Chains A and B, each alone.
Chain A
Amino acid sequence: MANATADAYLSMTSRPVRTVAMIAGILLAVASTSAAVLIADTQQAQIDLRFDAQRSGHVMIQARAPQPQGFTPEAVRQIEGLSVASEAGELSIWRESVPVASSPFTSAQSVPLVVASASGLEASGTSPVAGARLDTIDLMPAPNAVVWIGATLARRLGIRDRLQSVWIHGRSFTVAGWLQNDSGFEYINNSVVMSSATGRQHYGNGDLVRLLVKVRPGSASAVGEFAMSTLDPTGQQMLADVTPPDGEVLRANVAADVRRVGIGLGMFVGLVGMVAVANTLSMAVQQRTRELGLRSAMGFSRARIGSLILLESAMAGLVAALMGAALAHLGAYLWSASQGWEIIINPLLAPTVVAAGTFFSVLGGIVPAYRAASVSPLTAMRS
């Protein structure tokens, strides 16, 4: 094997121009595939970063300190007044989990307790499917025991009639209506919702006090900044922009598309490269008929002469693929560096493309190898 490898190595290095012509296609294929995948992955990471800030249709501001007074209505109105914002209102998770039952005797479900204003619910895309209109939530007189419940929770509790009561922590609340959300705030479907006044009356301060603003896509980060400074000019409430990353599906599709284009292109160039290997090796076999006949006369079997050519194609493919992969990694690295981006390298990429490049090259070597094996030992004598 070592001798055969040395033999193939000699054949390749003694005809450098031919060898370069032979490996150029495979090199190009591996380089273009790797570069496309590397750049797709790296660029995708950048797109993701920006999307997280930009693509959201909502801004969510969360208080990291107790909010006994809630958000100032004046400030909320100012935010709503922005041309890129529409509704703004409270959508807090007052308690992560409270026990809710349809009667004092049935077993309870653990569900989130949400405190919201009508515009907060509206901003989240929540709509009433039965019962009172949404704006009645803001009109409740201060001491009351009225709640809205999510449609899923209603089903789970087996509630069919409007104005039936539910028991939370053993206390009875009147159900004013059912709510449904299909716009990214689906947890509402399985929550109990009450007004800010009702929540404070029964449970005191909330756990996650939040303001939700519906914004035009692309303006989320600007509105977030404005909202934080308007709601809390002195910085005492310790607000944070916790705008949710959504659009996961879109992100995955973009990444897959870019990669698919790159890999498709690479496969095509790879086929061209394979033809180049087949062509070059075929020509080489023709030029080397005398040598191959000589080897056959010297006692090389057909299998060994064939594998000589296959080994050459494998080595050429391996060298080309290694060079191509190195070139692509270097290129992608320099490009990312020039953009100030951190390159994302999939550790499986290099081994995969190197294996594929070698494989294509060997595939291209099959026909020439067969032709080489068919050279008669008599040609040594008659040439």
Chain B
Amino acid sequence: MSQSAVLAELVDVELEVHRPVYTRILHPLTLRVGRSTSLAVVGPSGAGKTTLAAILGALQPPSGGTYHFAGANIADLSRKESARFRNLNIGFVFQNANLIDERSAWRNVAIALTDPTLERRAVEQRCREALADVGLQAIADREAALLSGGERQRVAIARAMVKNPLMVIADEPTGALDQTTGRDVLALLYGVTARGATLVIVSHDPYAASLAASSVSLVDGRIAE
């Protein structure tokens, strides 16, 4: 992989916690993720997949090692800086779509557009477009609580993509869906690479992982070869 093709580069990244007891969740690991590609993270429960995704998404600073994203060092960012970093670069899709139930679909997408200088009209326009991209233009005004599981997850994908992030991180995105619905959602998710984003997908589902350009397998906090 050439240097310019690398989006995220983790070198000797590790994570230890000291509370409640000293635990080493991730052993030092080195990992490179390319631009506009997809990476599956697989492994048994408790292996550290979510933890790795959290570090990649700058939700959690590593306790050792270096993490460069598009050439910039992410590992030592302050909380405020990493919030800004996430805001600009990362889209998240969670197992449960994590929508605000009382708000309409487009207003849930709007949560991701945090820039206070954006005009309300422009925000709504962009959100509706993002929903159209996932085939939900018809239900943009429906309250999130009324949406089906598959629709919720598609709203979440629209929310992740509305900012055109460089990386989309999805943790068990189909874990709560039936097979058919899951496949539709996977198709949409993998579609983000065609729009210049890198997809990191954490999944138990061999089919979901098999779609990825590359994969990494974690066992007990280490990369298993």
Interface residue range, chain A: 20 to 34
Q: Does B222 contact A (CB under 8 A)?
A: no
A297 touches B80 (CB 8 A): no
B98 touches A290 (CB 8 A): yes
Q: Which of B17-75 contact A (CB under 8 A)?
A: 50, 53-54, 57, 59-60
Pick the contact of B86: A1, A2, A298, A302 (CB < 8 A).
A298
Pick the contact of A297: B92, B103, B120 (CB < 8 A).
B92
Q: Does A346 contact B (CB under 8 A)?
A: no
Complex contacts, B92 vs chain A, CB 8 Å: 297-298, 380-381
Q: Does B187 contact A (CB under 8 A)?
A: no
A378 touches B88 (CB 8 A): no
| Number of cross-chain contacts by CB at 8 Å | 73
Q: Does A300 contact B (CB under 8 A)?
A: yes
Q: Does A3 contact B (CB under 8 A)?
A: yes
- 1/0 per residue, CB under 8 A from A, across B68-90: the answer is 00000000000110011111101
Contacts A2-B120, A14-B103, A378-B59 given; indicate if A295 touches B111 (C-beta within 8 A): yes
Bound form: Cα–Cα A383–B98 in Å:
9
Q: Does A301 contact B (CB under 8 A)?
A: yes
B83 touches A299 (CB 8 A): yes
Complex contacts, B59 vs chain A, CB 8 Å: 297, 377-378, 380-381
A10, A297, A301, most chain B CB atoms within 10 A: A297
A296 touches B118 (CB 8 A): no
- 1/0 per residue, CB under 8 A from A, across B136-173: the answer is 00000000000000000000000000000000000100
B85, B96, B116, most chain A CB atoms within 10 A: B116
Give the shortest distance, in Å, between B171 (CB) and chain A (any CB): 6
Main SS at interface, chain B? mixed
B114 touches A304 (CB 8 A): yes
Complex contacts, B50 vs chain A, CB 8 Å: 381-382
B102 touches A298 (CB 8 A): no
Pick the contact of A299: B54, B98, B100, B114 (CB < 8 A).
B114
Bound form: Cα–Cα A45–B110 in Å:
56
Q: Which residue of B lies closest to A293 (CB)?
A: B98
Q: Does A220 contact B (CB under 8 A)?
A: no
Complex contacts, A377 vs chain B, CB 8 Å: 59, 83, 86
B59, B60, B90, B111, most chain A CB atoms within 10 A: B59
A10, A290, A294, A304, most chain B CB atoms within 10 A: A294
Q: Which residue of B lies closest to A304 (CB)?
A: B114
Bound form: Cα–Cα A3–B119 in Å:
8
Q: Does A348 contact B (CB under 8 A)?
A: no
A380 touches B120 (CB 8 A): no
Q: Which of A365-383 contact B (CB under 8 A)?
A: 377-378, 380-383
Complex contacts, A291 vs chain B, CB 8 Å: 100
Q: Which of A1-59 contact B (CB under 8 A)?
A: 1-4, 6, 10, 14-15
B116 touches A4 (CB 8 A): yes
B54 touches A381 (CB 8 A): yes
- 1/0 per residue, CB under 8 A from A, across B87-126: the answer is 1101010101010101100010001101010101001000
Complex contacts, B111 vs chain A, CB 8 Å: 294-295, 298
Pairs A–B under 8 Å by Cβ, sample size 15: A3-B116, A297-B57, A297-B92, A299-B84, A299-B90, A299-B114, A300-B114, A304-B114, A377-B59, A377-B86, A378-B60, A380-B59, A380-B92, A381-B57, A381-B59
Q: Which residues of B contact A (CB under 8 A)?
A: 50, 53-54, 57, 59-60, 79-80, 83-88, 90, 92, 94, 96, 98, 100, 102-103, 107, 111-112, 114, 116, 118, 120, 123, 171
Q: Which residues of A contact B (CB under 8 A)?
A: 1-4, 6, 10, 14-15, 290-291, 294-304, 377-378, 380-383
Other contacts beyond A3-B120, A298-B92: 11, CB < 8 A: A4-B116, A10-B103, A295-B114, A296-B83, A297-B57, A298-B86, A300-B83, A300-B114, A301-B80, A378-B54, A381-B50
5 A-B pairs closest in CB distance: A299-B87, A14-B102, A299-B86, A301-B83, A377-B59
